[in-house]
């Protein structure tokens, strides 16, 4: 296999205008008749037609109704003798494939007796020979034929135009998709499914049928998904003027799916995890995820489907933009400024704990990558979440209305086309002439081409005599693979200034007529720049990068007192939270460096690490009369082990775990009475509703209970574990029940075992809940190395299966990717386990294996003995001759 380079892009030699597909569906051998109308692309020199194919059995090729000669070049089917000239040619290709054997879940596969497809990025070639590239857009007519008793529901993209009976108990359905689309958006589903249906009339007055298809027993869990879909449709119309362009919009859920969901035109296919929810089986987080994933896939209907990517290097064109849109959707639905900020903090937390490490590791790549071996490896947090940050910066630079204008221009120019990230940025800038974005567009686009997380160093200088405060910002960006020196980024820094008492100060820049509001954005576009604020009477506390206005690491020599001031008074909730995180991080880093801080044999650090002022500040937040519970929960949650590790050049994962656990235990004990108050004040949220206020209350109550159990275990007091067990048994919703279970398991109390057994018995027929049961145990804090044996045992459990991605993730990923304290064992047992699973999974499902392979991305940072052991484990995987491209690319990059 060869590396593909962005700059090698060539337009296709042929267009495919129309496709007529006929499927005879059979799990062992499905027959696919593909009739295509192709024509030469007159803009490029004449050349043979090369069609992609993978794992297909080719039976017949015909050109304009007659047999033809062809040859195979590797997996490609090459037709050298097509008629010259630009008259359309009718090509007919007949192949078979074996869906039941398809464990990769790419192309056509069977899940629990139902047929599904997944074609993005390059799965369509596993269904038929085709020009499997996103810039070839065709209209589709699809006929599905199958046994009626086993496959009563037959779905494909677009509109159902005909259906009827065939011989031998078979039936058929014919679907026509009126919209041209790239083949990665093709989908079919066939099986025993039932649908929740909803008819809607949009603002524009058009009627549509919405359907959510699930397995028969699951219909009762589809209400939230349907509500989320209706909300998405209304939102896109209201905020961006983008209407639903289909008579019928379908969502189908499957329990075997490689990722979250897929935006196939008019026929979204979803992982059940992002569709099914009831208060008894799904947590608040599940409800929120469903809302955002349903929104995300729906929003792709315009950003991705109507306007798609020219090539896969432009993936963030649709993904970054659509993540931005789903984030905004969730914020708009959440309501007030506080709820919006909570969502923003959660999003930034993901960015910083997952994307920042990616951007500093061996897989670092620009938002628009330059090369890849396997495109599936580039469905990353950089393409998605950093890509969304890039769109957010554009949005903030041109303003909300300006951005809406830019979107309008983007669709005016490019509807029905396959375009590039440049086209998008150009449209936003052109719609906003004179904006900061338009003025610096070329430099701004470094965000697309340069990998790595920029660092911004801030320095303030107060001049009492001149009554000025001079802010100096300096930027740099670490080298990343293939990129040493990088020109300056365009970095919008939203900021404010506070007095020592926490009052907002005027933000009048030297030379400006009058003070603007109490928050404004300066744009750092040089390696170093200064801003002079006038009319400042005392040393201010700068509140920088408000709302996380750019995806950078901000370094500022804050005193503890500065941070306490920000934590208590910053009107920007993001920075208020950030101040608390900085204080906690500071303590963690100091403890890591302090040789006097030592853990005992059990890994416990007894000495108090957190200063009184911090504990006091946390108490004030917890008891604050105005702050929302959701926000309090975020502030009272310490930075993750992964985030702490990222701040270090050399990482001792065990020590980080011990330090963070000690900080947690201290907070648990020092605030015991406050936690008790928090639990009592928030535990009763009344009837279940997944709204932000009740969600926040449950989150804070859950944290309080966890803290109370933690300190109870340390003091030997049985009261709170007993209460947690009662709550676990009596809870009327999954959030409260699972929080109580988690409190018992994480604190290591003996009641955890009976609770786990009871939980399994209660939910043995709910696969998504059993996933939680597995994940909780594999992700639990390690005590004397107990987690790895537990994980090995869990893999022997009758409910475990490596073939089901959700289940594999719930055990293996929760341990390897989500539990650093347990995974990084000094005896290398975690790494050996990891390498075995990567190899095992690769034979089944390379995409899932390659995700797991990323667990040791940051091995170079590890202290000994972990570093050597990790390198050996990666080398062990790399030594396998038969690896997929997916895993090969990840381990090769890791070792280079
Ligand atoms: N576009 C799909 C992701 C496809 C991943 C293929 N390996 C889901 C999404 O981003 O909406
Ligand atoms: Zn997407």
ipTM associated with this complex: 0.99
Q: 93 to each of 106, 128, 133, 538, 863, how far by Cα in Å?
A: 20, 8, 18, 78, 57
Of 536, 557, 578, the position where a domain reaches its end is 557
Q: Judge whether 895 lies within some domain.
A: yes
d(CA 813, CA 815): 5
Q: Is 259 in the pocket of ligand 1 (CB under 6 A)?
A: yes
User: Where residue 71 sits, what CATH number does that domain have?
Assistant: 2.60.40.1730
User: Which atom of ligand 1 is found nearest the CA of 323?
Assistant: 10
Residue 299 and residue 276: Cα distance in Å, rounded?
A: 20
Write down the pLDDT at residue 94: 98
Nearest residue CA, atom 4 of ligand 1?
120
227/225 Cα distance (integer angstroms): 5
pLDDT at 859 over 80: yes
Instruction: Identify whether residues 76 and 97 lie together within a single domain.
Output: yes
Question: Comparing 684 with 494, which gets the higher pLDDT?
Answer: 494
30 and 179 co-located in one domain: yes
User: What does the chain come to in residues?
Assistant: 896
Instruction: For the beta carbon of residue 582, count every other beta carbon within 10 angstroms.
Output: 20
Task: Answer yes or no: is pLDDT of 516 > 90.
Answer: no
Residues 24 and 170 in one domain: yes
With CA atoms as reference, report the closest residue to 106 among 75, 137, 127.
Answer: 127
What is the side-by-side strand order in the sheet with 71-73? 49-51, 76-79, 71-73
Assess whether the C-beta atom of 641 lies below 6 angstroms from ligand 1: no
Distance 264 CA to ligand 1 centre (A): 10
Half-sphere exposure of residue 864, counting CA atoms within 13 Å on the CB side?
Answer: 1
- pLDDT tens digits, 381-420: 999 999 999 999 999 999 999 999 999 999 999 999 999 9
Give me the percent of the chain exceeding a pLDDT of 90: 98
Classify each residue of 334-353 as buried b or exposed e, where b means 16 or more C-beta atoms within 10 Å of its C-beta: beeebbbbbbbbbbbbebbb
Sheet order of strands, 261-262 included: 194-201, 207-214, 248-254, 267-271, 261-262
User: Would you state the structure tokens that stand for residue 204, as one six-digit string?
Assistant: 């524009």
Q: Is the CB of 262 under 6 A from ligand 1?
A: yes
Is residue 64 in a domain?
Answer: yes
Cβ–ligand 1 distance for 385 under 6 Å, the answer: no
In a domain, 243, yes or no: no
Q: What angle do CA 444, 446, 451 make, to 5 degrees?
A: 140
- List, in order, residues 6 or more apart from 511 with CB less than 8 Å away: none
User: 687 in a domain, yes or no?
Assistant: no
Main-chain dihedrals φ then ψ at residue 56, nearest 5 degrees = -110, 150
Which residues, at least 6 apart from 879, have a Cβ–Cβ distance to it below 8 Å? none
552 lies in the same domain as 586: no
CATH number for position 469: 2.60.40.1840
- Give the chain's count of helices (H) and strands (E): 31, 31
Q: Please, which residues have CB within 8 angstroms of residue 532's CB and are 6 or more apart in sequence? A: 468, 469, 470, 471, 509, 510
Q: Give residue 331's pLDDT.
A: 98
CA distance 508 to 671: 42
- In the DSSP assignment, the letter for residue 504 is B
Q: Which of 124, 132, 232, 263 is the best mutation target for the ligand 1 pocket, counting ligand atoms within 8 Å of the beta carbon and taking the most?
A: 263
Ligand 1 probe mutation, 118, 262, 297, 885, most atoms within 8 A of CB = 262
Same domain, 538 and 646: no
pLDDT band at 323 (very low <50, low <70, confident <90, very high): very high
Residue 349 tokens read as: 């937390």
Is 145 domain-assigned?
Answer: yes
Do 671 and 618 meet the contact criterion of CB atoms below 8 Å apart? yes
Q: Does residue 169 share a domain with residue 45? A: yes
Domain stop point among 449, 468, 501: 449
Same domain assignment for residues 30 and 140: yes
Q: Could you tell me the pTM of the whole model?
A: 0.99
CB crowding 233-248: b at 16 or more within 10 Å, else e: bebbeebbebbbbbeb
pLDDT tens-place string over residues 245-266: 999 999 999 999 999 999 999 9
Q: Is residue 281 part of a domain?
A: no
CA of 446 to the centre of ligand 2 (A): 23
Does the beta carbon of 376 sit less than 6 angstroms from any atom of ligand 1?
yes
Q: Is the CB of 562 under 6 A from ligand 1?
A: no
Beta-carbon contacts of 160 under 8 Å, excluding residues fewer than 6 positions away, are 173, 174, 175, 248
**What is the mean pLDDT of the segment spanning 15-29?**
98
What pLDDT digit, counting tens, does each position of 490-502 carry? 999 999 999 999 9
Task: Indicate the SS3 state at residue 833.
Answer: helix
Residue 281: half-sphere exposure toward Cβ, Cα within 13 Å:
23
Please return the burial class of 543, using the count of CB atoms within 10 Å of its CB with bins 0-12, 13-18 and 19+: buried
Alpha-carbon distance 807 to 810, whole Å?
Answer: 5
Residue listed under structure tokens 């897929």: 262
Which spans in 797-845 are helix H? 805-808, 814-816, 820-823, 829-844
pLDDT of 685 over the 80 cut: no
Tokens read off for 599? 């853990």
Q: pLDDT band at residue 283, thresholds of 50, 70 and 90?
A: very high
- CATH code, domain with 855: 1.25.50.10
**How many CB atoms sit inside 10 A of residue 298's CB?**
26
Q: Which residues contact 390 (CB under 8 A, 6 or more apart)?
A: 316, 320, 367, 447, 448, 551
For the Cβ of 319 lying below 6 angstroms from any atom of ligand 1, the answer is yes
ω into residue 121 within 30 of 0, thus cis? Answer: yes
Radius of gyration of the chain (CA): 28
Nearest in space to 620 (alpha carbons), one of 763, 465, 502: 502
Q: Which ligand number lies closest to the CA of residue 268?
A: 1
pLDDT at site 513:
84
Index of the ligand 1 atom closest to the CA of residue 319: 10
Contact status, residue 206 vs residue 190, Cβ threshold 8 Å: no
Q: Could you read off the pLDDT of 446-458 as tens digits, one per residue?
A: 999 999 999 999 9
The fraction of the chain above a pLDDT of 70, given in percent, is: 100
What SS3 class is residue 407? helix
Picking from 874, 795, 878, 782, the residue whose alpha carbon sits closest to that of residue 825 is: 782
Atom of ligand 1 nearest to the CA of 375: 7
Query: Do the beta carbons of residue 756 and residue 745 sit within 8 Å?
Result: yes
Nearest to 49 by CA among 9, 95, 72, 80: 80
Q: Which ligand is nearest to the CA of 321?
A: 2
Residues facing residue 497 across a β-bridge: 542
The whole-angstrom separation of Cα 55 and Cα 98 is 9
How far, in whole angstroms, is CA 326 from its chain's centroid? 11
Residues 24 and 149 in one domain: yes
- 438-443, long-range: CB < 8 A, 24+ apart: 440/490, 440/523, 440/525, 443/487, 443/488, 443/489, 443/490, 443/525
- pLDDT number for residue 1: 76
The reply to whether 29 and 169 lie within a common domain is yes
Q: What is the mean pLDDT of residues 313-337?
A: 98
How far CA 743 is from CA of 584, 621, 706, 732, 781, in Å, comes to: 22, 22, 4, 17, 11
Q: Looking up tokens 């009563």, which residue turns up? A: 152
Classify residue 514 by burial, with Cβ atoms within 10 Å: 0-12, 13-18, 19+.
exposed
Tokens standing for 152? Answer: 């009563």
What's the CATH code of the domain at 439? 1.10.390.10
Distance (Å) from CA 319 to ligand 2 centroid? 5
pLDDT-derived band at 86, boundaries 50, 70, 90:
confident
Q: Which two structure tokens, joined as six digits, stand for 146? A: 């199958």
Model pLDDT, residue 147: 98
How do residues 693-704 score in pLDDT, each as one tens digit?
999 999 999 999
Does residue 60 come out as left (phi exceeding 0), alpha (psi in the -120 to 50 range) or beta? beta
Residues 465 and 600 in one domain: no
Looking at residues 152-180, what average pLDDT do you find? 98
pLDDT at 515 over 90: no
| Catalytic (active site) residue 680 | no
- 686 in any annotated domain: no
Q: Dump pLDDT digits (tens) for 616-675.
A: 999 999 999 999 999 999 999 999 999 999 999 999 999 999 999 999 999 999 999 999
- Phi and psi angles of residue 161, each rounded to the nearest 5 degrees, phi first: -110, -20
Q: Six-digit token pair at 394?
A: 């554009």
Distance (Å, whole) CA 691 – CA 334: 8
**Do residues 845 and 839 lie in contact, with contact meaning Cβ atoms separated by under 8 Å?**
no
Q: Provide the CB-side half-sphere exposure for 634 (13 A, CA).
A: 25
Distance from first CA to last CA of the chain, Å, rounded?
18
Residue 567: which pLDDT band, with cuts at 50, 70 and 90? Answer: very high
Give every CB contact of residue 400 below 8 A, 6+ residues apart in sequence: none
Each residue of 108-148: pLDDT tens digit? 999 999 999 999 999 999 999 999 999 999 999 999 999 99
**Which pLDDT does position 399 carry in this prediction?**
98
What residue ranges in 297-417 does DSSP mark as E strands?
308-309, 371-372
Neighbours of 177 (CB within 10 A): 24
Chain segment 795-819, per-residue pLDDT in tens: 999 999 999 999 999 999 999 999 9
Q: Which two tokens stand for residue 853?
A: 């392979």
Helix, strand or coil, per DSSP, at residue 209? strand
User: What's the gap in Å between 258 CA and the centre of ligand 2?
Assistant: 13
- Mutual angle of helices 866-878 and 829-844, in 10-degree steps: 20
Residue 101 domain-assigned (yes or no): yes
What is the Å distance from ligand 2's center to 322 Cα?
6
The pairing of strands 14-24 and 137-147 is: parallel
DSSP-derived secondary structure for 759-783: HHHHTTT-HHHHHHHHHHHHTSPPS
Q: Whose CA is closest to atom 5 on ligand 1?
A: 120
Structure tokens at 784: 């004397």
Q: How far is the CA of 297 from the centre of ligand 2 (A)?
A: 6
On whether both 146 and 41 belong to a single domain, the answer is: yes
Ligand nearest to the CA of 271: 1
Mean pLDDT of the chain: 97
Range of the domain at 877: 763-896
Cα–Cα distance for residue pair 868/863, rounded to 1 Å: 9
Query: Is the same domain home to 504 and 575?
Result: no
Number of domains in the chain: 5
Average pLDDT over residues 312-325: 99
Final residue in a domain of this structure, among 652, 670, 688: 670
Contact 665, 659 (CB under 8 A): no
């Amino acid at each position: 296999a060869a590396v593909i380079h962005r700059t090698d892009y060539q337009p296709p030699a042929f267009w495919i205008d129309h496709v007529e597909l006929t499927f005879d569906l059979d799990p062992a051998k499905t027959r696919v008749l593909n009739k295509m109308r192709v024509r030469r692309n007159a803009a490029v020199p004449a050349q043979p037609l090369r069609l992609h194919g993978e794992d297909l059995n080719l039976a017949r090729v015909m050109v304009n109704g007659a047999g033809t000669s062809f040859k195979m070049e590797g997996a490609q089917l090459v037709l050298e003798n097509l008629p010259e000239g630009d008259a359309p040619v009718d090509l007919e290709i007949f192949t078979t494939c074996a869906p039941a054997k398809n464990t990769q879940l790419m192309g056509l596969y069977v899940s629990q007796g139902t047929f599904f497809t997944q074609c993005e990025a390059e799965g369509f070639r596993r269904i038929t020979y085709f020009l499997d590239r996103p810039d070839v857009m065709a209209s589709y007519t699809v006929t599905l034929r199958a046994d009626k008793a086993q496959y009563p529901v037959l779905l494909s993209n677009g509109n159902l135009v005909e259906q009827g009976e065939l011989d031998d108990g078979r039936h058929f359905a014919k679907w026509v998709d009126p919209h041209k689309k790239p083949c990665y958006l093709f989908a079919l589903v066939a099986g025993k499914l039932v649908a929740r249906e909803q008819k809607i009339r949009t603002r524009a007055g058009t009627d549509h049928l919405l359907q959510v298809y699930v397995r028969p027993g699951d219909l009762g869990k589809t209400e939230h998904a349907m509500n989320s879909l209706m909300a998405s449709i209304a939102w896109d119309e209201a905020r961006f003027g983008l209407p639903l362009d289909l008579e019928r919009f379908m969502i189908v859920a499957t329990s075997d799916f490689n990722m979250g969901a897929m935006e196939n035109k008019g026929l979204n296919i979803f992982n059940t995890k992002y569709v099914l929810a009831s208060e008894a089986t799904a947590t608040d987080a599940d409800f929120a995820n469903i809302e955002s994933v349903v929104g995300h896939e729906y929003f792709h209907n315009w950003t991705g489907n109507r306007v798609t990517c020219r090539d896969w290097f432009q993936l963030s064109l649709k993904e970054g933009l659509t993540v931005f849109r789903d984030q905004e959707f969730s914020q708009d639905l959440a309501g007030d400024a506080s709820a919006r900020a909570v969502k923003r903090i959660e999003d930034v937390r993901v960015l910083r704990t997952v994307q920042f490490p990616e951007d500093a590791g061996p897989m670092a790549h620009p938002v628009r990558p330059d090369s890849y071996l396997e495109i599936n490896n580039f469905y990353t947090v950089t393409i998605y979440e950093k890509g969304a940050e890039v769109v957010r910066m554009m949005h903030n630079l041109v303003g909300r209305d300006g951005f809406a204008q830019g979107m309008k221009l983007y669709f005016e120019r490019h509807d029905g086309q396959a375009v590039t990230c440049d086209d998008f940025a150009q449209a936003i800038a052109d719609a906003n002439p004179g904006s900061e974005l338009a003025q610096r567009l070329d430099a701004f686009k470094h965000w697309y081409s340069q990998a790595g997380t920029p660092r911004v160093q801030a320095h303030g200088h107060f001049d009492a005599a001149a009554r000025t405060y001079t802010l100096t910002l300096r930027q740099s960006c670490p080298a990343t693979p293939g990129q040493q020196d990088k020109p300056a980024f365009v970095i919008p820094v939203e900021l404010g200034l506070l007095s020592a008492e926490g009052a907002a100060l005027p933000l009048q820049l030297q030379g400006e007529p009058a003070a603007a509001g109490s928050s404004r954005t300066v744009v750092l576009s040089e390696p170093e720049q200064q801003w002079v604020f006038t009319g400042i009477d005392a040393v201010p506390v700068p509140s920088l990068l408000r709302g996380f206005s750019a995806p950078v690491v901000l370094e500022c020599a804050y005193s503890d007192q500065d941070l306490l001031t920000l934590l208590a008074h910053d009107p920007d909730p993001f920075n208020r939270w950030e101040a608390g995180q900085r204080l906690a991080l500071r303590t963690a880093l100091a403890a890591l460096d302090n040789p006097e801080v030592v853990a005992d044999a059990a890994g416990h650090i007894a000495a108090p690490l957190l200063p009184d002022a911090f504990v006091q500040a946390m108490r004030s937040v917890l008891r604050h009369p105005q702050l929302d519970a959701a926000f309090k929960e975020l502030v009272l949650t310490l930075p993750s082990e992964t985030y702490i590790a990222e701040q270090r050049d050399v990482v001792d994962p065990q020590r980080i775990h011990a330090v963070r656990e000690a900080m947690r235990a201290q907070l648990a004990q020092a605030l015991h009475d406050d936690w008790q108050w928090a639990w009592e004040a928030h535990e009763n949220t009344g009837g279940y509703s997944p709204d932000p206020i009740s969600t926040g209350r449950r989150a804070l109550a859950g944290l309080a209970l966890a803290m109370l159990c933690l300190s109870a275990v340390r003091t030997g007091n049985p009261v709170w574990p007993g209460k947690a067990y009662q709550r676990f048994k009596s809870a009327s919703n999954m959030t409260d029940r699972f929080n109580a279970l988690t409190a018992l398991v994480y604190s290591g109390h003996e009641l955890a075992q009976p609770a786990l057994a009871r939980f399994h018995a209660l939910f043995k027929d709910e696969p998504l809940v059993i996933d939680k049961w597995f994940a909780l145990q594999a992700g639990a804090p390690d005590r004397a190395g107990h987690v790895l044996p537990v994980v090995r045992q869990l893999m022997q459990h009758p409910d475990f299966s490596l073939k089901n991605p959700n289940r594999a993730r719930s055990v293996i990923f929760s341990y390897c990717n989500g539990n650093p304290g347990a995974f990084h064992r000094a005896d290398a047992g975690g790494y050996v386990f990891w390498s075995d699973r990567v190899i095992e999974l690769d034979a089944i499902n390379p995409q899932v294996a390659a995700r797991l392979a990323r667990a040791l991305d940051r091995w170079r940072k590890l202290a000994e003995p972990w570093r050597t052991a990790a390198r050996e484990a990666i080398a062990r995987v790399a030594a396998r001759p038969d690896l997929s491209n997916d895993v090969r690319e990840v381990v090769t990059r890791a070792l280079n």
